[in-house]
């Protein structure tokens, strides 16, 4: 199966969760400011790292945490575009449309990087994805601390896209779909 097909399968799982939570809670995430989303990504990535290093006290694996990182990364991209709101101000169908548009951005980036790098990600270990995600989150925090300005580096949106794609690689590996 090609990387892009595997990407589509992984995102299908994530979209299903996003859709169900949207029906349960509405677009309550619209209230979150970008820094809060970055902190949520950090919490999820730190939990994964802890679970990679220690035995879990709560019987939940890392797969769900990587899928949450994907969904929060996509929410982050939406919030960067729309800004935050004081309430859940968009209907579910609009939220799904925005989600799908951001998935397309991540998929297009994955396709371009796969062209340039090949499938090098297949030879990597899942804990490396965790470390790269934590590094990208740290970079986002620095950029946020600089009011979104960079001198030479990519912006918050590019880092969110990379975070999403590293998490997708992890989901692919953890669901056993690593055959090319």
pLDDT in tens, the chain (180 residues): 799 999 999 999 999 999 999 999 999 999 999 999 999 999 999 999 999 998 766 656 899 999 999 999 999 999 999 999 999 999 999 999 999 999 999 999 999 998 888 899 999 999 999 999 999 999 999 999 999 999 999 999 999 999 999 999 999 999 986 554
| Residue/partner pairs of 81-84 with CB below 8 Å, 24 or more apart | 82/30, 84/30, 84/31, 84/32, 84/33, 84/34
- Measured CA angle at 85 (ends 83, 89), to 5 deg: 115
Nearest residue to 70 via CA among 173, 174, 165, 175: 165
The C-alpha atoms of residue 27 and residue 75 are separated, in whole angstroms, by 10
| Residue 48 CB neighbours (<10 A) | 26
pLDDT score for 180? 46
pLDDT score for 144? 97
pTM value surpassing 0.75: yes
Give the pair of three-digit tokens for residue 88: 């859940």
pLDDT score for 178? 52
């Amino acid at each position: 199966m090609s990387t892009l097909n595997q990407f589509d399968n992984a995102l299908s799982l994530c979209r299903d969760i996003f859709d169900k939570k949207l029906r349960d809670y509405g677009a309550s995430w619209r209230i979150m400011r970008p820094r809060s989303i970055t902190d949520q990504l950090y919490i999820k990535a730190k939990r994964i790292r802890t679970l990679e290093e220690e035995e879990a006290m709560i019987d939940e694996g890392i797969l769900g945490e990587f899928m949450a990182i994907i969904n929060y990364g996509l929410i982050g991209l939406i919030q960067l575009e729309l800004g935050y709101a004081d309430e859940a101000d968009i209907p579910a169908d609009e939220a799904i449309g925005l989600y799908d548009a951001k998935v397309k951005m991540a998929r297009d980036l994955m396709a371009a990087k796969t062209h340039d790098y090949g499938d090098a990600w297949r030879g990597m270990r899942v804990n490396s994805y965790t470390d790269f995600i934590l590094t990208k989150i740290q970079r986002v925090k620095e950029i946020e601390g600089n009011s979104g300005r960079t001198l030479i580096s990519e912006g918050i949106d590019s880092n969110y896209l990379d975070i999403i794609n590293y998490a997708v690689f992890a989901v692919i590996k953890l669901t056993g779909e690593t055959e090319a």
